[in-house]
Amino acid sequence: MSLRDFDKEDVREPDSTESMRCGGFTLMAALGLWVLTASWSSSPKAPQPAQPWMDASEPPAYVGNVCANLRLGIPAIRMSDGPQGFRDNVNPGTSTAFPCGLAIAATFDVDASSAWGLAMGDEFYRKGANVLLGPGVCVARVPQNGRNFEYLSGEDPYLGYTLVQPAVAGIQSQGVIANAKHWVNNNQETNRTIVSAVVDERTQF
């Protein structure tokens, strides 16, 4: 994993207080990975305000956080949503309202997709996150799906294939990992963690 400007000083061993917060995470503890709340002090680098009115002393909201491991040289992981930009519930009004994935798909423009990804990657990095949970790559198969607006593929898997690559490259050019989602047949939000989507290959692709 390559992070922009990463060096040894960006990682540290978890202390006993942090370990206690993770009671029950036996496997995580065995691996030396500790799930914690986010703070500016443990960001990949000293954070910079993403907007002029943002106070750098106020931490943003991260979706997930894994402490760095100094012994193994593994940097901290700071994950945040999402496909439309940085979701910050702690400091509302400090994130850019980017165009949705479907709007970018409607441009059929590789350069627009690249610029979109680059701008989001830069903002995530400035807010201290190094994993962006996006872009959305599902194909819009069901018109009633309330999350169709997220997806770069629109209704065409080839369009997604064409536009997702420059978006990911743009995000990752800023030292932020692009975690594309929701891969296969995520066509409904209701019971999405338990529903079984049985789709033949021709319909799917």
- pLDDT tens-digit profile of 18-40? 433 433 333 443 444 434 344 44
Nearest-angstrom CA–CA distance, 153 and 123: 23
User: What percent of the chain lies above the pLDDT cut of 70?
Assistant: 68
pLDDT in the model for residue 16? 40
If pLDDT is split at 50, 70 and 90, which confidence band does 55 have?
low
Paired tokens of 153: 């593929």
Nearest-angstrom CA–CA distance, 69 and 59: 21
pLDDT in the model for residue 6? 45
- pLDDT tens-digit profile of 153-186? 998 989 999 999 999 999 999 999 999 998 778 8
- pLDDT tens-digit profile of 129-161? 999 999 999 988 888 888 999 999 998 989 999
Residue 78 exposure: Cα atoms within 13 Å on the Cβ side? 31
